[in-house]
Chains A and B, each alone.
Chain A
Amino acid sequence: MQPAFGEISVSDFFYRHRELAGFSNPSRATYMIIREAVENSLDACEEAGVLPSVKVLLNSVERGVYYLRVEDNGFGVPPSEVPFAFGKFLYGSKFGVKQRRGIFGLGISMALLYSQVTSGKPASVTVSNGREIFEIKLRIDIERNMPVVEGRKRLMNKDGWHGSIVELYFKGDYPRAEEKILNYFRLTSIASPHAEVTFTDPSGNVHVFKRSVERIPSLPIEVLPHPHGVDAEMLRRLLKRNEGKSLLSFMVKSFQKVGYATAKKFLESAGFSPHQPTSTLTNDDVLELLEAMKSYDFPSPDARCLSPIGEDALREAIINVFEPEFVAACQRPPAVYLGHPFIVEAAVAYGCKGVEGELALFRFANRIPLLYDMHSDVSMSVLKRFNWGSYLPVRPQAMGVFTHICSTRIPFKTAGKECVADTPEIEREIELALKECCRRLKTYLTGKVSGDEWGRKFNAYRKYLPKIAKFAAELAGRKEAPNIALVLEQISGGKKSERGLA
């Protein structure tokens, strides 16, 4: 007899709960599947050290079924690794941390899964090993979480092509998703200003999103976890990995920013012997160690695992996309919440094309644009109470406000990766970044308002006062016009005192 309860695979779990990964309805799924494929390509190119050029083609095949083709210019994965890289849900077995675009590390597999369950057709992945091109037809055995190769084509690579091509069929709803998808591309060219994306929509319109910088950002470095950033489960796993070692050695090898001196000082203050073997810790000891780690004052986490956009690149990208009159960008120094390092970047662009009304908020997390659930996002909470009047000499007008949070762990509110939870440390950094942007914007605006206006005023006086003097003198029958030097001097003095001029 079959047992009532069975084990399910990761792929089976996501098959049953695909809304957790954002595939909740046809229009949202259309957006998600494009996004996962594009991000997979961007990651591949960056890791290969290539400036990404991604070509996206979406075709409507029959009622509700679409064909998606995403091609990039990276080096792809080796042909032999394609089945596992695309057709199996992998979870991170490593303990190292660094900033990643996805949080599940399963984005492209999720896209394949959704494609397969809605269209019934296998996916196709094309890569090259240099000499040959391989086109691999692939399906996921969802129950077993295993890739099934259904076909393989080999071609000679005469033109030296490199990259990867993913082709999928899926059920979706492009008309409803169009606005989000175009927005996603537009904002992706801000979050990844070094990338160029070309999108051909189902009507055949070609949208080109040009790159605005020619530099590849430095890749984040994978680092050990920070002692403040682990939980009981993770600590137990780390201990298990270091069975037989002393606590001192465990601390130094498992965590960043912990040297022998720091480890010794910490263990003694927590009442553990540095030489105690990890295997002798009881369950209670582990919890006690965790508490001690949380309260001990370790040096701040390493931020080399983060890859912020950078002030210059952010500014250039915003200028490229929104053509604002002026843009101020600010990158905050690294900060920490619950042991996770994070960096907040913000930009305030004045007079943006395509921004209607006073202002619009654009959010990014780990170089991904966040398009849903804006009103419950941490950036929105900051914005709601932000008093523009006290920082700017004018009312916001067509103002674009951009926030980018990058972290080894973004505190998303929901599994859909769309909305960042209110976290006091992050809120504070966003606020400080916005204030700094405002300071820079204010310098510009003040110069514009008083500088230009003052110049115009003074020029008007220089133009008209001599005429007044001349006409008045001739009216009075005088031979010479009165000297207006005194009056002009008074006007230019009035600039500082703000007197004498209305």
Chain B
Amino acid sequence: MKEVLLKLSSLGEDICAQLERGELPFIDIPSRTTSNIVYDEKEGRFILGGAKTRRNVSNVKHLRSFTQTVWVAWMAKRLIEERRSATLRDLYYMAEAYGVKFKNQQESDSIVTDLEVLLGVPREQLRIFPEERATIYGDLTIRYNLPGYENTKFNLTASPDGIAIGPALAEAEFQDCGAERVIMVESGGMFTRLIEEKGHEKFRALLIHTAGQAPRLARRLAYRLREELGLPIYVFTDGDPWGAHIAMVVISGSANAAHVDNAVIPDARWIGVLPTDIDEYKLPYEKFNEKDWKRLNDLMADPRYQSPFWRGQLKKFEEEGKKSEQQALSIYGLNYVTEKYLPEKLA
């Protein structure tokens, strides 16, 4: 945290110095245009190139966004110092009280991303979080690092609904772990099924419900479980292009967060539902609709999908034009997924 505060302080100092010299201040922010997002083959993820954009007060058009950027930095400093947190939505609403209006939340979200890139610090470290939360369930005992909760320890099997992955949990201390792997599950139905069928015990797994695209905090937690506890990460989604991309973002990070991704897990594995599974397990399927085809085309053009495994999966999608949801596995009985499908996948 000290490091982050230092970065914020020197940003403020820099602007003050420019003003005192009678200069209209400016800041140089690494450019986030697609042309400056490059794929780093070695690290297996997207990173920002060297191009920078100057946000210059001498251009009256930059005046407002400059003020917004400084305000978000100022707010982040207060959040850190006061050990509080704010959601992206909070931030959007709070601004007005300080005479710094945002047109919409998209605008404030974008300024937050600017600040992340400018400081090289992910927004979680600025105590700013997205609204949506993933949940986790399984045999892991954690201890919070939060004032007032220092002695609060508990096991993540405490609630049958799973525990929400908020900022506190994402950075909590791992005390004791009976699990040997992590399974990230796309749909709530499958997450509940796995808990009910004692999948966590059977596969000695921590289950993370991503609820669609995995939020960064969930990926961050998975990353830490991989790094600190050495647990392999498996991603279990619907068998369609959207599911494939949920897995891909866990593996190589999101394009939007190329600059600060501290949650990239290159050796995470997509275990299903794979397009090849649809035939193999004789799953009920639906034909691709127009949106599916468009999404597939996008993915085929994406540099992240160039490995033989991914090429093969996308090609299968293209040939068959078939998709199956996770729930399709229930056609062979409620316990099919825990008795047959997953054991084969995790073998």
Query: CB within 8 Å of B: which residues of A?
Result: 457, 460-461, 463-465, 467-469, 471-478, 481-484, 486-487, 490-491, 500-502
Option from B13, B22, B60, B67 in Cβ contact (under 8 Å) with A468 = B67
Query: Please, how many residues of chain B have a CB less than 8 angstroms from a CB on the other chain?
Result: 32
Give Cα A260 to B8, complex, Å.
97
Give Cα A481 to B70, complex, Å.
14
Give Cα A483 to B16, complex, Å.
9
Given contacts A460-B63, A475-B70, A487-B24, contact A467 B9 (CB under 8 A): no
Option from A460, A464, A469, A500 in Cβ contact (under 8 Å) with B16 = A469
Given contacts A487-B24, A501-B60, contact A468 B74 (CB under 8 A): no
Give Cα A482 to B17, complex, Å.
8
Q: Decide: A471 and B16 in contact? CB cutoff 8 A.
A: no
Smallest CB separation, A192 vs chain B (Å):
49
Smallest CB separation, A490 vs chain B (Å):
6
The residues of B that contact A482 with a CB separation of less than 8 Å are 16, 19-20
Query: CB within 8 Å of A: which residues of B?
Result: 8-13, 15-16, 19-20, 22-25, 56-61, 63-64, 66-67, 70-71, 73-74, 77, 98-100
Closest Cβ neighbor of A477 among chain B residues? B9
Option from A467, A476, A487, A491 in Cβ contact (under 8 Å) with B67 = A467
Give Cα A471 to B8, complex, Å.
11
The residues of B that contact A474 with a CB separation of less than 8 Å are 12, 74, 77
User: Can you report 22 A-B residue pairs in the complex whose CB atoms are below 8 A from each other?
Assistant: A460-B63, A460-B64, A463-B99, A464-B66, A467-B67, A467-B100, A468-B70, A471-B70, A472-B19, A472-B70, A474-B12, A474-B74, A475-B11, A475-B70, A477-B12, A482-B19, A484-B19, A486-B19, A487-B22, A490-B22, A500-B24, A502-B61
Closest Cβ neighbor of B20 among chain A residues? A482
Q: Decide: A472 and B99 in contact? CB cutoff 8 A.
A: no
Q: Decide: A475 and B12 in contact? CB cutoff 8 A.
A: yes
Q: Could you list 14 further interchain pairs (A-B, Cβ under 8 angstroms) beyond the known A468-B66, A490-B22? A: A460-B63, A467-B71, A468-B57, A472-B16, A475-B8, A475-B13, A475-B15, A476-B9, A476-B10, A476-B15, A478-B12, A483-B19, A484-B19, A502-B61
Give Cα A491 to B98, complex, Å.
24
Closest Cβ neighbor of B22 among chain A residues? A486
The residues of A that contact B59 with a CB separation of less than 8 Å are 502
Give Cα A247 to B284, complex, Å.
119
Give Cα A315 to B220, complex, Å.
71
Give Cα A490 to B19, complex, Å.
11
The residues of A that contact B57 with a CB separation of less than 8 Å are 465, 468
Query: Closest 6 CB pairs between A and B?
Result: A475-B12, A476-B12, A472-B15, A486-B22, A471-B74, A476-B13
Q: Decide: A502 and B23 in contact? CB cutoff 8 A.
A: no
The residues of A that contact B20 with a CB separation of less than 8 Å are 482-483, 486
Q: Decide: B9 and A475 in contact? CB cutoff 8 A.
A: yes
The residues of B that contact A475 with a CB separation of less than 8 Å are 8-9, 11-13, 15, 70, 73-74, 77
Closest Cβ neighbor of B24 among chain A residues? A487
Given contacts A475-B73, A502-B58, contact A468 B12 (CB under 8 A): no
Give Cα A193 to B59, complex, Å.
49
Give Cα A476 to B22, complex, Å.
18
Q: Decide: A460 and B70 in contact? CB cutoff 8 A.
A: no
Give Cα A262 to B73, complex, Å.
90
The residues of B that contact A476 with a CB separation of less than 8 Å are 9-10, 12-13, 15-16
Q: Decide: B60 and A457 in contact? CB cutoff 8 A.
A: yes
The residues of A that contact B74 with a CB separation of less than 8 Å are 471-472, 474-475
Given contacts A471-B74, A500-B24, contact A464 B19 (CB under 8 A): no
Smallest CB separation, A450 vs chain B (Å):
13
Given contacts A471-B71, A472-B15, A475-B8, contact A464 B64 (CB under 8 A): yes
Given contacts A467-B71, A467-B100, contact A500 B22 (CB under 8 A): no
The residues of A that contact B71 with a CB separation of less than 8 Å are 467, 471
The residues of B that contact A468 with a CB separation of less than 8 Å are 15, 19, 25, 57, 66-67, 70
The residues of B that contact A461 with a CB separation of less than 8 Å are 60, 63
Closest Cβ neighbor of B73 among chain A residues? A475
Give Cα A463 to B100, complex, Å.
10
Closest Cβ neighbor of B60 among chain A residues? A457
Smallest CB separation, B171 vs chain A (Å):
24
Give Cα A123 to B22, complex, Å.
86
Smallest CB separation, A460 vs chain B (Å):
6
Q: Decide: B67 and A464 in contact? CB cutoff 8 A.
A: yes
Give Cα A356 to B59, complex, Å.
34
The residues of A that contact B23 with a CB separation of less than 8 Å are 487
The residues of A that contact B24 with a CB separation of less than 8 Å are 487, 490-491, 500
Give Cα A326 to B59, complex, Å.
31
Give Cα A99 to B127, complex, Å.
84
Give Cα A483 to B19, complex, Å.
7
Closest Cβ neighbor of A486 among chain B residues? B22
Smallest CB separation, B16 vs chain A (Å):
5
Give Cα A82 to B180, complex, Å.
117
Smallest CB separation, A467 vs chain B (Å):
5
The residues of A that contact B58 with a CB separation of less than 8 Å are 500-502
Smallest CB separation, B98 vs chain A (Å):
8
The residues of B that contact A490 with a CB separation of less than 8 Å are 22, 24
Give Cα A482 to B16, complex, Å.
6
The residues of B that contact A477 with a CB separation of less than 8 Å are 9, 12
Give Cα A484 to B11, complex, Å.
18
- Most A-side CB within 10 Å, residue of B9, B24, B25, B59: B24
Given contacts A475-B11, A502-B59, contact A469 B100 (CB under 8 A): no
Closest Cβ neighbor of B59 among chain A residues? A502
Give Cα A487 to B10, complex, Å.
21
The residues of B that contact A457 with a CB separation of less than 8 Å are 60
Q: Decide: A471 and B12 in contact? CB cutoff 8 A.
A: yes
The residues of A that contact B66 with a CB separation of less than 8 Å are 464, 468
- Most B-side CB within 10 Å, residue of A461, A473, A486, A487: A487
Give Cα A502 to B63, complex, Å.
11
